[in-house]
Amino acid sequence: MGSVTPSGPQPPYPLHESIKDKLDPVYAAFYNKHIIHQQQVHLQPVYASRTSGILIPGGGPQLLVGKKEDILIRRRETKGPDILVRVFTPEGEKPRNGWPLMVYYHGGGWVLGNIETENTVCSHLCNRARCVVVTVDYRLAPENPYPAAVHDSWETLLWLTSTGFSRLHIDPSKCAIGGSSAGGNLAAIMCHKSLSCPEVVPKFLIQLLMVPVTDNTALVSNTPSWRQNEFVPALPAVKMMWYRWHYLPEKSRWGEPEASPLLYPNEDGSWAKLPKALVVVGELDVLRTEGEKYAEKLEDNGVKADLKIMKGMPHPFLAMDGVLEQGKQTITFMVEALKEAFK
């Protein structure tokens, strides 16, 4: 977990010369006013980052929903504690066949974040797309490294089909999945895993992958966006490696498909069976290239993938919808994609 004393350079952290003139001016101004003097996550102990307040400043307010409920679910295939999920249900009467469903996994590099982290996004999807949203409090590294988060994500899908559909009044024919960053990684993996068990987990109409991690073998030396954005604020390359080493302490496992969904094999043509996708990436995010490649691989296999690149944006723009128009716009992209899928 590290010592109490932060290691490495101390605040302030001015924008790097290689990136400062490329950033959206609204983001740059917000950074220089509110973030420049904050201790950087990868330069302090994990527990300090988990208890230091808001993970990413600049988020907007939650929207009203009909009900929020926390449920502990029991495992069926893996070992570990019960898993906490939060359920957002829209206001009003459910449709005759039940509510559409959106399963959502939060970001935070598999190390930070919790069931509270992306409630704003979840409330927008619930309220505006008129669907039940289930968000998962999966276990975090380094205490619970890979594949703990994958197991918790999968157990949630098993629970939904066996128990959750009836309890939450879900329409099984209208299901979607998604997440941001590490959560986008988990959502993509769940889509692949679901292909082998279509009778016991939801069949998804669409996957919403926001700034997803799809390739944990990506490095500055082998990936264009890592090289171009090595010193970007919010998620510089060294910070992404800090997350990776906590989650994947065994380098030999970085390329396993359940860690790097871009590397799922396709000898059996399974990629063609995946749900269509909305993939949104930041132009100045180290993760941009792997998001682009994931969308390209879907398209190459005949799966529609709507790729959107948010100009001038580093990694956390979705969570900054209170100050960034690009964050608000991305939530609208998600809402509209769900509406279209649930028609």
Residues 101 and 160 sit within 8 Å (Cβ to Cβ): yes
In angstroms, how far is CA 51 from the centroid of its own chain? Answer: 21
Q: For the chain, report the end-to-end CA distance as a whole number of angstroms.
A: 47
152 an active-site residue? no
Catalytic residue among 42, 151, 246, 315: 315
Q: What is the DSSP string of 45-79?
A: -HHHHHTSS-SSS---PPPP-SEEEEEEE--SSS-
Closest to 150 in 3D by CA, of 197, 242, 80:
80
Contacts for 289 with CB less than 8 Å, ≥ 6 apart: 218, 223, 224, 225, 226
- Told to judge if 196 belongs to the known catalytic residues of this protein, a careful annotator would answer no
Are the CB atoms for 331 and 337 separated by under 8 Å?
no
The tokens 């919010």 sit on which residue?
234
Strand partners, 207: 177, 277
Of the listed 49, 181, 225, 260, which one is catalytic? 181
* β-sheet with 67-73: strand ranges across: 67-73, 83-89, 132-136, 99-105, 170-180, 206-210, 276-282, 305-310
Give the side-chain half-sphere CA count within 13 A for 211. 29
Token pair recorded at residue 257: 């498909």
Look up 315 and say whether it is catalytic: yes
Kind and range of the H or E element at 307? strand 305-310
Catalytic residue of the set 24, 137, 152, 285: 285
Residue 72 identity (one-letter amino acid) = L
The full 3-state SS of 308-335, as one line of letters, equals EEECCCCCCHHHHCCCCHHHHHHHHHHH
C-alpha to C-alpha distance for 218 and 236, rounded to whole angstroms: 13
Rounded to whole angstroms, the Cα distance separating 115 from 259 reads 21
- Cα–Cα dist 113/313, whole Å: 21
- Which active-site residues does the annotation give? 181, 285, 315
